[in-house]
Amino acid sequence: MSAEIALARALADLLASAPAVSAIVGARVHASPPRMLTYPCVSVGRIESRPVGEGDLLEHVVTLTCASRFGGAQEARAMVAAARMTLHDAAPAVEGRTLASLKVRFCDVFAAADDELTLGVLRVRAVSEPA
C-alpha cells in the first residue's frame, strides 16, 4: 500500500474515532470522498508527498475538507475546530509507516459558489518514515 493511501486511511480513522468530530458528522468521515456525499462530512482530499533528507523520509501536505449544508458557517467552523484539535500533534498508526510529525498548518471556512454549501479546509503537514 502506498504511503499516501495509508496516511489517508489513518487520518480518516483518527477523525472518525474522535468524539468531537463524530458528534457533528457521525460516521461520515471519508479517506476518499464517495460519489454522493451526505452532509455534514469530512473528506481527505489531495495529498502531496516529497522525499526529504536521507532514506525514505517523506513530507506530506494533506488537504482535508469539511462540508456543511447547515445554512451558515457555524457547523463548518465547529467541524474545522474539532478536526484541528484532533489532528494537531496526533500520532495515528499508519500502515507500513511511522509518523514523525503531524501539524495543522492552515484552516479556512468559506461559502461555496452555490451559496448552499459551506466548506472548511485544513492543510496538514505530516512527516513519515518506513516502519
Q: Model pTM? A: 0.94
Q: Which of 42, 20, 39, 18 is nearest to 29 (CA)?
A: 42
Element containing residue 101 per DSSP (H, E): strand 97-111
Task: Label residue 1 by pLDDT band (50, 70, 90).
Answer: confident
Task: Label residue 89 by pLDDT band (50, 70, 90).
Answer: very high
Give the position of cell 498548518. Answer: 105
On the question of a cis peptide bond just before residue 40, with omega within 30 degrees of 0, the verdict is yes
Give pLDDT tens digits for 47-80: 999 999 877 899 999 999 999 999 889 999 999 9
Q: What is residue 95's three-state secondary structure?
A: coil
